[in-house]
Amino acid sequence: MNVQKNLITSDPAIMMGKPVVAGTRITVELILEKLAAGETPEQILEAHPRLASEAIQAALAFAAEALRADVVYPITEAA
């Protein structure tokens, strides 16, 4: 099994079942939001000392895999 897959877990008792970095309460969602806001991986690691760079890569891989599903996401333009 891919080591990165072991870094992301989901448990209904932790963060309402959202995917998190194993052993933390840091969600994949939070990591993606920080990256989208322009934070660098180094800034994220500095703000969350329990994370390793592999966890950020695992979060990105998890998100990419989740988006591979056969679901259409309509994108609308802002008014």
| Number of domains present in the structure of the chain | 1
Please tell me the pTM assigned to this model: 0.81
Provide the token pair at 11: 């448990």
Residue 74 lies in a domain: no
Torsion of CA 60, 39, 11, 7, to 10 degrees: 50
Residue 52 lies in a domain: yes
pLDDT in tens, the chain (79 residues): 455 668 999 999 999 999 999 999 999 999 999 999 999 999 999 999 999 999 999 999 999 988 887 676 677 776 5
Residue 48 lies in a domain: yes
Angle between helices 53-67 and 28-36 (to 10 degrees): 90
33: domain CATH number? 1.10.10.10
Could you list the residue range(s) of the whole structural domain that residue 16 is in? 3-67
